[in-house]
Structure 1
Amino acid sequence: MKTKTILSWSLRLTVSIILLQTLYYKFTAHPDSVHIFTALGVEPWGRIGLGVVELITAILILLPKTKTIGMLNSLGIILGAVFSHFLVLGINVSNDGGGLFTLAIIVLLACSLYLFLHFEEVKAILRKLKP
């Protein structure tokens, strides 16, 4: 396999695994998740809605035909998470030692690197969106 292919798969798997792993907390109304979305003023619908969007995004990332759309969507989601940490939640949420923020940064970096590596695909997608 080519290096770019291996790296791309690694980045996609990293993002998908992190998105899927956090779904447990969102869908079971874990107290930490409820705390986060309460602080953001969108509990419970924001928590559940974002969980559904993250599930769909993780699936899109894993499917060959929609992987770049999924990574673009994930970048949007994670930018919202990072800004939420900076503006509302703080880095250390519920005494997690910055764990959630670290995962958000990992996803942000993985998405950014993937989209940089596949910039031609990103441009093609964006061209299709123009009226």
Structure 2
Amino acid sequence: MSAKKGVTYFLIAFVAFVFLQSLFFKFTGSEETDIIFSTIADWMKTVGLGFIAPAFAAYGGYVIGGTELVATGLMINPKTRSIGAFLGLAVISGAIFFHLFTPLGVNRVVDSQGNTDGGVLFYMACGVWVSCLLIFILNRKNN
């Protein structure tokens, strides 16, 4: 196995781990997911996007989780790897935007008691962003 393939597989494994482990939270409507998407929906109302805020709060976790699942599947297949990496890069760019430019914040609240995650979710998102970018660069000629 070449070093390029080894690095690519490692990066895909990391992205898949982050995306797939979060599906449980997004697809079951966990408290963490409700807090994240409600916080963003409340912010949307303050910037003129109130018309979409209720749908985002109710279904955002499913849509984002579904997109992450599709991106992971596309990255696993060498023929669609660049497309999957680009899709993963797009969705995680949105996550990073919401962490940095909305009340969600880097050190976000994870439960009704006000406990925070210490920034773990944000830092994992940054790792996924870099990984998707590298996967895209390393495999862009495969598509």
1:107 aligns with 2:128: yes
Question: Counterpart of 1:78?
Answer: 92
CA separation in 2, counterparts of 1:114 and 1:64?
11
User: What is the aligned length?
Assistant: 122
The alpha carbon displacement at 1:61 in A equals: 1.2
Cα offset, 1:44, TM superposition: 1.4
Over residues 87-109 of structure 1, what are the superposed CA-to-partner deviations in whole Å (9 max), with x where a residue is unaligned? 11110011000010011011011
CA deviations over 1:56-96 (Å, ceiling 9, x no partner): 11111112221111011000001000000001111001100
Q: CA deviation at 1:120?
A: 3.2
CA contact (8 A) 2:81 2:136 kept: no
1:98 aligns to what?
A: 119
Report the residue type matching 1:91 in the other structure: V
Identify the residue that residue 128 of structure 1 maps to in structure 2: none
Alignment partner of 1:87 is 2:74: no
AA partner of residue 113 (structure 1): L
RMSD (Å), alpha carbons: 1.2
Q: Which residue of 1 aligns with 2:71?
A: 57
- The residue number in structure 2 matching 1:24 is 24
Aligned partner of 1:96: which letter?
D
TM-score, length of structure 2 as denominator length: 0.80
- Of 93, 116, 119, which aligns to 2:137? 116
Task: Give identity over the alignment, percent.
Answer: 34
**1:118–1:73 Cα change, 3 Å:** same
Please state how far the C-alpha of 1:113 moved relative to its aligned partner.
1.6
Amino acid at match of 2:82: T
Corresponding residue number in structure 2 for 1:66: 80
Normalising by structure 1, we get a TM-score of 0.87
Structure 2: give runs of 5+ residues left out of the alignment. Answer: 42-55, 110-115
Structure 1: segments with no counterpart, 5+ residues: 126-131
